[in-house]
Amino acid sequence: MSERKLRRFGIALLAIVTVPSAYLVAGAVGGAVPVHRDWRPAAAGVTIFVESNGVHTGIVVPKVAAGVDWRRLVRARDLADPRYAAYDHLSFGWGERGFYLGTPTWAELRPGTVLAAALGSDDTLVHVEHLPRPVPDPDVRALVLRPEEYRRLAAFIAGSVAPDGERRHGYAGYDAFYQGRGHYDAIRTCNAWTGAALRHAGVRMGAWTPFPATVMQWL
């Protein structure tokens, strides 16, 4: 290998190592900078939940609370099995279409799918699951919001769904996908969306939350 090719190889190798490391550091720093520093949970109000599976975070809300009725947006007929619409809570997550539809299980996750999403896409989906009220545990954190905070959160979530957009069945009988709004990339990830929704509500949260840990550490 010539000296010039060796130099180019060294630069490429350095970039491969440096860029992911810099991204991880930037995410950790952004997640550590608080917004709404003085916010505290309400003594009484609307209980929501933030859940994490170690890769993706979502927000769980009651179907009807504080004047917000999600049944106007999320309908029983959108489900493969409408019986699941009897559950009283909904889990909302936002993400890139190819990632969502191409990864029904984590065993099917491919590097190309991750890279394509990270490079950016305007083709997004909102994933909605019908479920009973969650039980808090280390991966499911409960928060009590004031009614006005909850309504701001609900407005942010609803604004992520394209009006009169596509609706399709999800992975199982209890979930569905809705055409989303917004641009997905390595900066605005599914977890950054969760953090942005909570900041919009007024909840104390990191300034930029690209990873699950950067969301959950505040809850």
Report pLDDT digits (tens) over 162-217: 998 999 999 999 999 999 999 999 999 999 999 999 999 999 999 999 999 999 99
Which residues, 6 or more positions from 128, have their beta carbon under 8 angstroms from its beta carbon? Answer: 74, 90, 91, 92, 170, 175, 176, 177, 178
Distance CA(198)–CA(208), nearest Å, equals 11
Residue 20 falls inside a structural domain? no
pLDDT at 26: 85
Q: Answer yes or no: is 27 within a domain.
A: no
In-domain check, residue 72: yes
4 or 199: which leads in pLDDT:
199
Residue 75 has pLDDT above 90, yes or no: yes
Considering its fold, how many domains does the chain have in total?
Answer: 1
Q: What is the pTM of this model?
A: 0.89
Q: Confirm whether 1 is domain-assigned.
A: no
For residue 56, is it within any domain?
Answer: yes
**Domain carrying residue 38:** 33-216
Q: What is the mean pLDDT of residues 118-135?
A: 95
